[in-house]
Amino acid sequence: MDKKIYLDYSATTPMKKEVLDEMLPYFSEKFGNASSIHSFGREAKAALDSSRDKIAKAIGADSKEIFFTGSGSEADNWAIKGVAFANRDKGNHIITSKIEHHAVLHVCQYLEKHGFEVTYLDVDEYGMVDLDQLKESITDKTILITIMFVNNEIGTIQPIKEIADIAKKNNVYFHTDAVQALGNVPINVKDLEVDLMNFSSHKIYGPKGVGGIYIRKGVKIDPFIHGGAQERKRRAGTENIAGIVGFAKATELAVENLDSHIKHVKALRDKLIKGVLDNIDHVRLNGHPEKRHPGNVNFCFEYIEGEALLLSLDMVGIAGSSGSACTSGSLDPSHVLMAIGLPHEIAHGSLRLTIGDFTTEEDIDYVIEQLIKIVDRLRQMSPLYEKVKGGQ
Amino acid sequence: MYSEKVMEHFMNPRNVGEIENADGIGEVGNAKCGDIMKMYLKIEDGVIVDVKFKTFGCGSAIATSSIATEMIKGKTVEEAVKLTNRAVVEALDGLPSQKIHCSVLAEQAVKAALYDYAQKNNITIEGLENYKPSDDIHDHHEH
């Protein structure tokens, strides 16, 4: 079996050749430390500056508002802890949603142990946050709203502009984790009027180990890593120049090719959704039917379990992911599937397939064909399915 | 993450199905926790002459059910009662620690089916005297 089909682009992406080419000189040849005064250092500094400019331009920010981190998760940590601790004199209340990435949820839980209060907003069956509940939750102690742009599991796109308006009216900072949004939805930070927004390079065909954050000029935020003057004294540590150069190139490509990328993945996504819904019964599509990541497909197949589904797909060369308890390593299925109101037994049968630039139509045909067989095989083994067939 | 043996049993499970008019049927686990095992026994003269299973669950839940049916087929009911989850794990060349509960479930499914057989025939099986159906409650939440 040599067929290999990667449908886990929301987990990570293969790096593009153009990105690699851009990075290569910065490992051995242009290896300088950007803080050094000599020519080697200046060469690295120039690469750092131009990378920052490229990313700023791609999202409509000023270069001074872009900071590099070691990952998207680090940037989430910085945004939330940094704003929380710097604005503690104003209040101790943070508002987030129940479907955030753990890099946000676990930070909020950590802050709760340190005297902060957190409101976790509900979402509807499609994963959309409740804006009325958001408005009602704001108090004079609220200092930060943090709500993700695009959900990593079910792909739901939140009304970021509307949330930003609510935040602004109430004089509260608004942070959005845009790790799954960059390169998949148009982003202009000035139009959206967000205060903080973070990204990850490896989700957009760039290298792993690099993230970034937009911090609007004027936002009061603590430094995150102390010990040096890098990143305007806010995030110390010698910069990962090769990674940053790759991240900048990847961002540039993602924004340049946004329309063609969306068109490509969306067509394949819709083909996959239709193929599955037309050929397999007792399936539900999770997430919003329209307001969703162009490459995200998330199903629950009733009467079977997600890990068994993933292993079976892997045996025929297809790579996906699941929110079942067995794959999350915890007792419960994914918090996102719970938040959209799925019963445990249905959430256990979830499958996420995420499509990217290198996915082809033949891939999707093959996946549909294999899924039909696999779901049928597992259902034949399932005592739950036998009851359904028996009309009980 | 899984041994070759687990994957082999997962991809080619033995004894899948149901037995009509089975002499003993055991069902353990619950859908909420993500695994249910149902075991059917055909018993003649105190010997398990046939066994089938159906399982809703992850790869290791299917593999442990499959190997457990192999391990008790042809055995006397007294021998089958002695099947332990440890023996199931060993027969599969090990299981990841978070999957040990699947082997417990397999042991419990066999015991539940034997208990059902004993109840129907109004007999006691040596080694199953203290078994109560409630014992088969999923142990997930005690971990």
Q: Over the stretch A176-224, which tens digit does the pLDDT of each residue have?
A: 999 999 999 999 999 999 999 999 999 999 999 999 999 999 999 999 9
Who's near B1: CB < 8 A, 6+ residues apart?
B96
**What average pLDDT does the segment A271-296 reach?**
98
User: Between B36, B61, B98, which is nearest A384 by CB?
Assistant: B36
Q: Which tokens hold the place of A392?
A: 């009980």
Nearest by CB to residue B56, choosing from A305, A312, A315, is A305
User: What pTM was computed for the model?
Assistant: 0.94
Report residue A331's pLDDT band, with 50, 70 and 90 as the boundaries.
low
Question: Coil, strand or helix: which one is A359?
Answer: coil
Best residue in A311, A338, A350 for a mutation probing chain B (most B CBs within 10 Å): A311
Tell me the residue length of chain A. Answer: 392
- Mean pLDDT score of chain A: 96
Looking at beta carbons, which residues of chain B come within 8 Å of A383?
27, 36-38, 54-56
Listed as own residue / partner, the contacts of B41-45 with beta carbons closer than 8 Å and 24 or more positions apart are: B41/B113, B41/B114, B41/B117, B43/B77, B43/B117
- All residues of chain B having their beta carbon less than 8 Å from the beta carbon of residue A331 are 33, 140-141, 143
- Can you give the pLDDT at residue B141? 40
SS3 A120: strand
What average pLDDT does the structure give for chain B? 92
pLDDT recorded at residue A59: 98
Do B31 and A315 make contact, defined as CB atoms within 8 angstroms? no
Q: So what's the pLDDT on residue B140?
A: 44
> In which element (H, E) is residue A313 found?
helix A306-315
Q: At what angle do helices B100-121 and B59-72 cross, to 10 degrees?
A: 40
First-last CA distance in chain A: 40
Does residue A327 carry a pLDDT above 80? no
**Structure token pair of residue A355:** 């499509």
Give the best residue of B3, B58, B140 to mutate against chain A (max A CB count within 10 A).
B58
- Identity of the residue in B10, B36, B143 whose CB atom sits nearest the CB atom of A311: B10
- The pLDDT, as a whole number, for residue B32 is 84
Amino acid at A18: E
Round to whole Å and give the CA distance between A94 and A145. 6
Residues of B in contact with A384 (CB under 8 A): 31, 36, 56
pLDDT at A324 over 90: no
Question: Residue with structure tokens 């994963």?
Answer: A127
CA distance linking residue B129 with residue B126, whole number of Å: 6
**Catalytic choice (B7, B16, B19, B33):** B33
Q: Position of tokens 């004089």?
A: A171
Contacts of B41 (CB under 8 A, 6+ apart): B19, B22, B23, B24, B25, B26, B48, B50, B51, B113, B114, B117
Is pLDDT at B142 greater than 50 in this prediction?
Answer: no
Q: Using the predicted structure, report yes or no on whether residue A25 has a pLDDT greater than 90.
A: yes
Check CB contact under 8 Å for B54 and A307: no
Give the pLDDT score at B65: 98
Q: What is the pLDDT of residues A229-240, one digit of tens each?
A: 999 999 999 999
pLDDT for residue A390? 64
- Chain B interface residues facing chain A, Cβ-Cβ under 8 Å? 2, 7, 10-11, 13, 16, 18, 27, 31-38, 54-59, 61-62, 98-99, 140-141, 143
CA distance B105 to B88: 10
Determine how many CB atoms are found less than 10 A away from the CB of residue B44. Answer: 9
* CA gap A79, A56 in Å, rounded: 18
Say whether B31 and A308 touch across the interface (CB within 8 A): no
- Using DSSP, how many helices (H) and how many strands (E) does chain A show? 17, 12
Which residues from A are below 8 Å from B61, CB to CB?
305, 308
Q: How many CB atoms lie within 10 A of CB A336?
A: 26
**pLDDT value, residue B134:** 63
Whether B143 shows a pLDDT value over 60: the answer reads: no
Is the pLDDT at B131 greater than 90, yes or no?
no
Share of chain A above pLDDT 90, in %: 95
Q: Does A387 touch chain B (CB under 8 A)?
A: no
Among A139-148, A367-376, B23-32, whose mean pLDDT is lowest? B23-32
**Helix/strand number for chain B, H first, E second:** 5, 3
Q: Does an H or E element contain A296, and which?
A: strand A296-301
Of residues A326, A338, A368, A372, which has the active-site annotation?
A326
User: Is B58 marked active-site?
Assistant: no
CA distance A362 to chain B (A): 25
pLDDT 10s digits, B83-98? 999 999 999 999 999 8
The C-alpha atoms of residue B117 and residue B78 are separated, in whole angstroms, by 12
Phi-psi region at A384: left, alpha or beta (left = phi > 0; alpha = psi -120 to 50): alpha
Calculate mean pLDDT across residues A82-109.
98
C-alpha torsion B43→B49→B55→B60, nearest 10: 130
- Chain B residues with CB under 8 Å of A312 CB are 11
Mean pLDDT of A63-72: 98
Instruction: Say whether pLDDT at A147 is over 60.
Output: yes
Interface residue A309 vs chain B (CB under 8 A): no
Q: Could you give the CA distance from residue A236 to residue B52 in angstroms, rounded to a whole number? A: 62
Q: In the structure, what pLDDT confidence band is assigned to residue B1 with cuts at 50, 70 and 90?
A: confident
A33 shares contact with chain B (CB less than 8 Å): no
A40 to A36, A44, A49, A248: CA distances (angstroms): 7, 7, 14, 20
CA angle B8/B19/B139 to nearest 5° reads 60
The label of the residue with tokens 């004894």 reads B15
Report CB contact under 8 Å: B58, A324. Answer: yes
Picking from B77, B58, B74, the residue whose alpha carbon sits closest to that of residue B13 is B58
Q: What are phi and psi of A185, to 5 degrees?
A: -140, 155
| A383 vs B7, B36, B143: nearest CB | B36
Which of B81, B83, B102, B112 does the annotation list as catalytic? B102
Q: Which helix (H) or strand (E) holds A306?
A: helix A306-315
Smallest CA–CA separation between B57 and chain A, in Å? 5
